[in-house]
């Protein structure tokens, strides 16, 4: 028997020794409950018009706007890393009140989809379906005469965009606009055009977050007036998120999503407990920029912090992680 302070213990027993399986990386790996896999990452891509364009995004170090001719090299790099899905955002040549280029069959996102599928037919190409990058006012739908986002007329344009992207060869559409009824409208339009098998990944619980700032620079999608709180979710609400998820499932969403991820891990968890559908979480631009800025200042270990962050999102219940860290995280995971 050995006495340590007021604790008496028998060697090898007397209390639970949870440290036994933490003594080496091999042992820790055997009992690890949550695992990251590059195959579960989706890498967002910002695509612009032009030739040989690779425009760095200042607020998102390591990210760039790419012209279509740059996408084949991007696809090859992702294949080598084991990242097998991308999410496309387009920067149009011109904007108007109805976001016309969003549903132009030769629009930027349609061109990008065709180029990626030609470069790597096995790559899963997902099209973000929203009008905010394409409208001159920067809102996610068309406006009434009073300047309010008009829900029902916006559904028709979103459905047209989804069909156009489907016919350009995308493997999935992902409506992010937060208009009521948009999943059902898109499903109906896809089915009518013979795309019954094309899945929908719905941005179901998308919050009106302060973490979107760098994305708005990248996609040039900042609203020209007002904000998006009238249609994106109020950050204090959780039960409302479950209503949004349930509505999207009823309208035949195949995958549901929570966005952002880090400040909403509790929402990811309750969503996971509410449905057996695949669940995505979007590790958004502001979350990415914070870690990059802290790492650049030497305030934290970049590799450790990024992998810990992605593990937390996975541990909360996400099956799919949309993240700008996908390339570097995949590289580190492949080194293990």
CB 302 within 8 A of CB 295: yes
Q: What is the rounded distance in angstroms from the CA atom of residue 178 to the CA atom of residue 182?
A: 8
DSSP secondary structure letter of residue 233: B
Angle between helices 302-316 and 285-296 (to 10 degrees): 150
For the chain, the C-alpha Rg in angstroms (whole number) is 22
Tokens of residue 64, six digits = 């760039």
Place of tokens 């090859």: 76
Q: What is the rounded distance in angstroms from the CA atom of residue 132 to the CA atom of residue 150?
A: 13
Q: Give the residue among 4, 201, 187 at the shortest CA–CA distance from 85.
A: 201
CB 196 within 8 A of CB 249: no
Tokens of residue 327, six digits = 């390339």
Helix then strand then coil, in percent of the chain rounded to 5, is 45, 20, 40
Q: Residue 303: which residues within 8 A CB-CB, separation 6 or more?
A: 328, 332
Angle between helices 71-81 and 326-335 (to 10 degrees): 30
Strand positions, DSSP E, 70-200: 85-91, 124-129, 172-175
292 given a catalytic annotation: no
Q: Please count the other Cβ atoms lying within 10 Å of the Cβ belonging to residue 62.
A: 12
206 given a catalytic annotation: yes
Burial (CB count <10 Å: 0-12, 13-18, 19+), residue 257: buried
User: Which one of 95, 117, 259, 292 is the catalytic residue?
Assistant: 259
Strand positions, DSSP E, 141-218: 172-175, 201-206
Catalytic annotation, residues: 206, 259
């Amino acid at each position: 028997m050995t006495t340590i302070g007021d604790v008496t213990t028998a060697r090898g027993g007397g209390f639970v020794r949870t440290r036994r399986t933490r003594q080496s990386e091999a042992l820790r790996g055997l009992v690890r409950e949550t695992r990251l896999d590059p195959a579960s990452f989706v890498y967002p891509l910002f695509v612009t018009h032009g030739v040989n364009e690779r425009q760095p995004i200042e607020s998102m170090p390591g990210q760039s706007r790419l012209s279509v001719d740059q996408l084949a090299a991007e696809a090859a790099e992702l294949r080598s890393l084991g990242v097998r899905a991308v999410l496309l955002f387009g920067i149009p040549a011109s904007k108007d009140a109805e976001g016309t280029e969003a549903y132009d069959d030769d629009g930027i996102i349609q061109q990008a989809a065709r180029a990626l599928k030609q470069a790597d037919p096995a790559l899963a190409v997902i099209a973000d379906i929203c009008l905010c990058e394409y409208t001159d006012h920067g809102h996610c739908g068309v406006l009434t005469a009073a300047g309010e986002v008009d829900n029902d007329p916006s559904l028709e344009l979103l459905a047209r965009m989804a069909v156009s992207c489907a016919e350009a060869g995308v493997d999935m559409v992902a409506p992010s606009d937060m208009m009521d009824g948009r999943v059902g409208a898109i499903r109906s339009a896809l089915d009518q055009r013979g795309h019954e098998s094309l899945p929908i990944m719905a941005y179901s619980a998308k919050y009106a977050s302060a973490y979107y700032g760098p994305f708005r620079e990248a996609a040039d999608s900042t609203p020209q007036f007002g904000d998006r709180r009238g249609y994106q979710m109020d950050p204090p609400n959780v039960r409302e998120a479950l209503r949004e998820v349930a509505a999207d499932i009823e309208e035949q969403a195949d995958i549901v999503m929570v966005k952002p991820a880090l400040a909403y891990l509790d929402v990811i968890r309750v969503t996971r407990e509410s449905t057996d559908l695949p669940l995505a979480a979007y590790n958004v631009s502001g979350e990415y920029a914070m870690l990059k800025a802290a790492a650049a200042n030497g305030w934290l270990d970049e590799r450790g912090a990024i992998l810990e962050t992605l593990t937390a999102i996975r541990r909360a219940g996400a099956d799919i992680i949309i993240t700008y860290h996908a390339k570097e995280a995949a590289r580190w995971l492949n080194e293990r």
